[in-house]
A = this chain, B = another copy of it.
């Protein structure tokens, strides 16, 4: 391992890449890139500034540039396409698989997208890409692969096999587990399984062995729908049709899996306060600062709101200064308990194990757990307080506050994601701050008001 690393260090291929760009040595550039695995290429690119990355892509021939963009993190590829001249970007997009080109355009700024589309040689393709990138990325229209093998109802099994054979190259990059039978107007009529084709006399008509009125999805079907269909049936891929029933693409089980994984990544980033998609340290510093502040800004306000509770009880604090030690502990521990409940609710929503209206179930399941865990944590923290200050009343106040606040936190943490889901707000994004603010306020209030209740015993 260590050796590999040092060796890499020795190489530092990204420096050579930059040199090639500076000396506009296109041949050398492709040579270095070809000598690297996709992983190494991605790593090398991540070591360069946006300008340097753009320079490399500009210098490569469109096909090679397209290959490179395909292996980069999407956000990085998009930044590059926005950075380079639209006419060059257009040539590259023409080389990309249509789906991926559309994915990039979807993420680009409106102006850059239009500039790029205007440069495409084929206006039809431009319209098509515009249309395609208009679908949400996780709908059937956004996820579908538009290259598929389709044949007319008149074709014979022999015709199909011969065509598949002669055009083997052309089909090699698509999933030909199935081939499709369409009417003259392109309306989907049936599906043929390659296996059946192989085992049928070649003079038979495809219509005889096709699966008529096959399962299909509509371009506008959303991710939830796709996830369910592929979960319920063992399809490898499904035909995608437009409003008129015309076959426009194929969505595969694999691409839906990838989308699921992308959604989970997004959840994780959002829950950690990273907005606007992936952040890579190769991105411009100001962009990174801005996007992180977009999350921190609201949080500082919420924190001030919560802390105002403390300000309102300064007199109590003044007389029992030890409380200041426990305020952060109570609020942080409750936050932890609440976050666990949030995570479980988000998972149960994802797995379809809970419906957005089942608050009662949450209250019951989390309430019981909160009471138990709250007791345990309250007793632990209370004992610490007692040992430290030798004051059982202090122990009672601190322990009691943590107990009560733990119950509150798991209830809020469990319910908030359901509420947000109903409001069509991303639970992973908003649950944390809402939870923390509530639990902080409540925690501070409990500690300080309980304390003021027993103030005579504490000071």
- Residues of A near any B CB (own CB < 8 A): 5, 8, 37-39, 42-43, 46, 71, 73, 161, 164-165, 168, 171-173, 176-177, 194-195, 197-199, 228, 231-232, 234, 253-254, 257-258, 260-261, 264-265, 267-269, 271-274, 278-282, 285-286, 288-289, 292-293, 295-297, 299-300, 303-304, 306-308, 310-311, 314, 317-318, 321-322, 324-329, 331-333, 336-337, 339-340, 342-344, 347-348, 351-355, 357, 361-362, 365-366, 368-369, 372-373, 376-377, 380-381, 384, 388, 436, 440, 444
Contacts and interface: CB of A to CB of B under 8 A. Distances in A.
A244 B293 CA distance: 56
Contact of A39 (B5, B173, B194, B228): B228
Given A73-B351, A324-B324, A296 B232 contact: no
A303 B332 contact: yes
Contact of A269 (B299, B310, B347): B347
**In the complex, the 6 A-B pairs of residues with the closest C-beta atoms, listed nearest first:** A272-B343, A261-B261, A165-B199, A324-B324, A46-B353, A281-B365
B336 A369 contact: no
A265 B268 CA distance: 8
Given A231-B38, A347-B278, A372 B303 contact: no
A198 B289 contact: no
Contacts of A161: 198-199
Given A272-B340, A340-B272, A321 B322 contact: no
Contact of A258 (B198, B231, B257, B388): B257
Contacts of A232: 37-39
B324 A327 contact: yes
A352 B46 CA distance: 10
Contact of A336 (B171, B296, B326, B380): B296
A300 B329 contact: yes
Given A173-B234, A257-B261, A299-B333, A280 B348 contact: yes
Given A258-B257, A268-B264, A336-B296, A303 B328 contact: yes
A176 B199 CA distance: 14
A231 B70 CA distance: 11
A274 B344 contact: yes
A264 B288 CA distance: 23
A300 B176 CA distance: 56
Contacts of A327: 324, 327-328
Contacts of A253: 254
Given A46-B353, A297-B380, 9 more contacts: A37-B228, A42-B353, A168-B199, A257-B258, A285-B369, A296-B340, A300-B381, A303-B329, A332-B332
Contact of A310 (B71, B198, B279, B325): B325
Contacts of A295: 336, 340
B329 A307 contact: yes
Contacts of A344: 274, 279-281
A94 to B, nearest CB: 20
A161 B331 CA distance: 68
B176 A296 contact: no
A406 B342 CA distance: 26
A337 B292 contact: yes
A419 B86 CA distance: 42
Contacts of A281: 344, 348, 353-354, 361-362, 365-366
Contacts of A164: 195, 198-199
A444 B328 CA distance: 10
Given A333-B300, A333-B303, A42 B343 contact: no
B198 A165 contact: yes
Contacts of A267: 268
Contact of A325 (B307, B351, B373): B307
Contacts of A384: 304
13 contacts: A73-B351, A164-B199, A173-B234, A272-B342, A273-B340, A279-B340, A280-B351, A280-B353, A289-B372, A292-B340, A307-B326, A310-B325, A314-B321
Contacts of A311: 322, 325, 388
